[in-house]
Amino acid sequence: MKTGTTRRALVAGIAATPVAGLPALADVVAEPDPIFDVIAEQRRCKARTDEVLASLNSKIEDLEAERDKIAVIQFMGKKFQSSAALLHSVNIKGALSGDEITDFFNAREQLLIHEAAFERVQDESGCAEAEDEFSERNKAYFDAEMRALATQPTTASGALALLAFVVEHLEGPHCDPGEHHPEPLLGAVRNALAVLQQEAQS
């Protein structure tokens, strides 16, 4: 269900968050800051996901080109490229005459031959396997992103890196804070601000 949160409202909410309410840091260590490793892992996961997606799209395009090769069959003045569509048209029309019945079965047989050939191409295309791999990679990418948003930076440079990461996410073409995960985003900003606040007071 949509929360109604817009990107502008989210940013406004961040700005309105009282700094005093931010969680206090434990012992702050100079290096290494864990945020850099989790952001780097998120980048690697994204690159792998993009690579698999490009391969999947290529396979789909090839498969669609093969689908277009299925012959268009004429029957009773109409064009059909699917035996199911042909049968549906006949069911709507009702009873056929003797010649129409012969033409129908000839048309259906031709379409079934082409459909069987396409199914073999589809099975050999690797699309199903590519879709499974993309689903797996995309989940790993999402999980890595959530880990990055949930990781507490321990340095000012790490806090800035996390803020930049959040901004990049908010400005991304697929981000919709109102429908996805505004709370992890707000939590990441609070974590980063907590570090900067501590640095400023030290």
Which pLDDT value is given to residue 178? 54
CA dihedral for 43, 46, 52, 57, sign (positive or negative): negative
φ, ψ dihedrals at 78, nearest 5°: -120, 155
Which pLDDT value is given to residue 185? 72
Which pLDDT value is given to residue 50? 92
Helix and strand totals (H; E) in the chain = 7, 2
Burial of 96 (0-12, 13-18, 19+ CB in 10 A): middle
Identity at 5, one-letter amino acid code:
T
SS3 63: helix
Pairing of β 73-75 and β 78-80? antiparallel
Entry field: residues in the chain: 202
- The span from the CA of 106 to the CA of 100, in Å, is 10
φ, ψ dihedrals at 75, nearest 5°: -150, 120
Which pLDDT value is given to residue 180? 56
Which pLDDT value is given to residue 176? 58
Tens digit of pLDDT at every position of the chain (202 positions): 444 444 444 444 433 443 333 343 444 444 589 999 999 999 999 999 999 999 999 999 888 887 777 667 777 777 776 777 778 877 766 677 777 788 888 888 888 887 887 788 888 888 889 999 999 999 999 899 889 988 999 988 888 888 888 877 776 545 655 555 566 777 777 778 878 877 767 6
Which pLDDT value is given to residue 179? 53
